[in-house]
Structure 1
Amino acid sequence: MQERLFCIRVGHLLPFSMPDSNTTHFTNPSTFILQGIPGLEAAHVWISIPFCAMYILSILGNVTILFIVKREPSLHEPMYYFLCMLAITDLVLCTSTIPKLLSIFWFNSREIGFSACLTQLYFVHTFSVIESGIYVAMAFDRYVAICDPLRHSTILTNNVVAKIGLAVVLRGAVLALPYPFLVRQWPYCRTNIIPHTHCEHMAVVKLACADIRVSTYYGLFALISRITFDVLFIALSYTQILRAIFHLPTKDARLKTFGTCSSHLCVILTFYIPTLFYSFTSRFGHNLPLHFHVLIANVYLLVPPMVNPIIYGVRTKQIRESLIRLFPHKGTKVLS
């Protein structure tokens, strides 16, 4: 009798009926309900304003980077090819989550189909891994350019850059592939309400009424293996770069050479610090408020795509000059 009452209560929470009165779980719910930011529902409209502004800046900034690099033949070099890969990745990463977030905040459109949820989850994790891999590729480019400049053009040919880009994409696609399969295999019997703004892996599997240690361990393994490899490679590259910089004969040469790497270092810190902070707090920060976890999750997905074009636009002389050259003719006509 107790089991039957429990099933009735759970069924009342779900927007679909149970296939059998004796069934106490469903494997694939037809829809999930995204709650948004739990505890801050009354402020959703106000919170949407900075999120919308950051999303617009992300789109404008990254599209501008792509346009400038395509337009300027002098920027058709490995460094800027990797920058274009980063811009495309950032566009996909923020677009896979923010439109749905805004629809929740503005139109209370909380439902997301089970397959759509898995697709969103896969895209978020795939392109997060791809972005990390692009930072490794950019670090390698800076290492060759500074430590072995005479061979830079022969080592990083267009063919090599394309192969590196393909390897980065394949690694992301393969490493994230188990996530949707693991989510699909669990039975769900508690609720289909996800206390989040998007289908984040841990937020979804925590709804399962099963031993989810496989999902938890794989997520932790994927995070640590990726971050360990990528951060270690980047650290080794910049160790060699700094050694080469300090061996330059003059202070001006050292500052100029370090300036070419400073934008990349800023972008790396902007990506890895929020990513690591969110990943570990979502698993071990059980005493932190739920809305804090959700806000941090959105920050690490939205802030890097927004600030990356700004950092490269401000700190990279070639991009800055190319951007300025887009406007002088209009200004001349107005003055005349």
Structure 2
Amino acid sequence: MILFNSNITIFLTAYGPPGPLSYGVFFVILVLYLATVFSNVTLMLIIFFDSALHKPMYIFLFNLAVNGLIGSSAVCPTIMQYLLEDLKSISFTGCVMQTFFINVYATCAYAILMVMAYDRYVCICRPLQYHSIMTPTKVRLLLGAVYTFSLCAVGGQLYLASKMPICKYIINKLFCVSLAVVNLACVKSAIYSMYVLGLLIVFGLLPLFLVILSYIKILSVSVKASKTAQRKALKTCAPHLITFINFSFATFSSVIYSSFYDYLSDEVSVFMSVHFILVPPLLHPVIYGIRTQDIRISMSKILRKRKFLH
């Protein structure tokens, strides 16, 4: 199977030679990556240590933070390494594994955002039954389904990609993405194309449809409620809605980057590629930290305890 042939080397040609511009981009990505790691780890620790946050919404948010770290860590260290090196090469196995983790990040993020929308729907539209519906067992089942389906689906894509014969060895991008890897094949696979189309429907269009449907139902209930209830619903849903729109925009940018790279300027291409794997994981914990009162309260409690101990 070609996938595990480490003798195949792929060259990434989208980089220029090391110089002031490369060092500047390296510094920007390093700062953003460190901020991403810090913000997500901080959010995870706050949720983990504060038992008051051991609720479905924050458990889903914890998993979203873990997923964000997986996505950014799959790409950023490699980009920073290539910015400082003359030769930008990666084994075919490493290239395929990079696309695997990127696709897991994308599919899991959308799936987690979908179950978070379901959680918000139950909270607002069926508040009296919320605790009987969103039980710990139900939360574990939802997260189990998210990871199982995502890993199996992306694993199937990985397997089909590995069966294609490779006769090209150059990718004109900053990192490996599915479309670029498939374009290395000597012949196109109709089965692979149909499989990827199925993935886009199941992990792209379906979550989008269900999230929109959830918010239509939330909006219909909120319109009939009191002003106080409407404000509460807005506070509850705003972080998730902002996060979902942000990630959808980043995904759209990634599709444009993958499909139309040759027609974009270098600056736009760099922005689109980095935006997908850095901006959502960085903004998600910031959005929830600013917009969610429970997290702000928990953070202030931790800071007061730390100050008191000193």
Paired residues, number: 307
Partner of 1:140: 118
Which structure: larger Rg? Answer: 1
Partner of 2:128: 150
Matches within 5 A, 1:201-216: 201-212=178-189, 214-216=191-193
**How far apart, CA to CA, are the structure 2 residues paired with 1:57 and 1:283?**
29
Structure 1 residue 241 and structure 2 residue 218: aligned? yes
Partner of 1:197: 174
**How far apart, CA to CA, are the structure 2 residues paired with 1:36 and 1:53?**
24
Aligned partner letter, 2:211: I
SS of aligned partner of 1:319: helix
| Deviation at residue 150 of structure 1 after TM alignment | 1.1
Closer, same or farther: CA 263–285 of 1 in aligned 2, 3 Å: same
Q: Residue by residue, what CA displacement relative to the aligned partner does 1:101-125 show, whole Å, maximum 9, x if unpaired?
A: 1111134563322222222211111
Of 173, 197, 208, 1:231 maps to 208
**How far apart, CA to CA, are the structure 1 residues paired with 2:27 and 2:10?**
22
Closer, same or farther: CA 41–291 of 1 in aligned 2, 3 Å: farther
Partner of 1:266: 242
Conservation of the 8 A alpha-carbon contact between 2:8 and 2:92: yes
Conservation of the 8 A alpha-carbon contact between 1:39 and 1:291: no
**How far apart, CA to CA, are the structure 2 residues paired with 1:97 and 1:127?**
11
Q: Structure 1 stretches (4+) deviating beyond 6 angstroms?
A: none
| Deviation at residue 221 of structure 1 after TM alignment | 3.5
Partner of 1:315: 291
Closer, same or farther: CA 41–268 of 1 in aligned 2, 3 Å: farther
Uncovered stretches (5+) of structure 2, i.e. residues with no partner = none
| Deviation at residue 333 of structure 1 after TM alignment | 6.9
Closer, same or farther: CA 36–77 of 1 in aligned 2, 3 Å: farther
Aligned partner letter, 1:311: I
**How far apart, CA to CA, are the structure 1 residues paired with 2:124 and 2:302?**
30
Matches within 5 A, 1:173-188: 173-188=151-166
Conservation of the 8 A alpha-carbon contact between 1:183 and 1:205: yes
**How far apart, CA to CA, are the structure 2 residues paired with 1:280 and 1:215?**
20
**How far apart, CA to CA, are the structure 2 residues paired with 1:277 and 1:328?**
41
Conservation of the 8 A alpha-carbon contact between 1:32 and 1:112: yes
Aligned partner letter, 1:252: T
SS of aligned partner of 1:112: strand
Conservation of the 8 A alpha-carbon contact between 1:93 and 1:127: yes
**How far apart, CA to CA, are the structure 2 residues paired with 1:37 and 1:51?**
16
| Deviation at residue 281 of structure 1 after TM alignment | 5.2
Partner of 2:52: 74
Aligned partner letter, 1:74: A
Partner of 2:259: 283
Structure 1 residue 328 and structure 2 residue 309: aligned? no
| Deviation at residue 51 of structure 1 after TM alignment | 1.2
Of 126, 140, 143, 1:162 maps to 140
Identity of aligned residues (%): 28
**How far apart, CA to CA, are the structure 2 residues paired with 1:280 and 1:221?**
19
Uncovered stretches (5+) of structure 1, i.e. residues with no partner = 1-26
| Deviation at residue 39 of structure 1 after TM alignment | 5.4
Q: Residue by residue, what CA displacement relative to the aligned partner does 1:60-80 show, whole Å, maximum 9, x if unpaired?
A: 111111111111111111011
**How far apart, CA to CA, are the structure 2 residues paired with 1:41 and 1:323?**
41
SS of aligned partner of 1:276: helix
Q: What TM-score comes out, normalization by structure 1 length?
A: 0.83
Of 26, 47, 63, 1:48 maps to 26
**How far apart, CA to CA, are the structure 2 residues paired with 1:126 and 1:145?**
28
Q: What TM-score comes out, normalization by structure 2 length?
A: 0.90
Report the aligned-residue RMSD: 2.4
Closer, same or farther: CA 216–301 of 1 in aligned 2, 3 Å: farther
Closer, same or farther: CA 212–271 of 1 in aligned 2, 3 Å: same
**How far apart, CA to CA, are the structure 2 residues paired with 1:124 and 1:86?**
14
SS of aligned partner of 1:325: helix
- The answer to which of 216-225 and 235-244 deviates more is 216-225
Partner of 2:97: 119
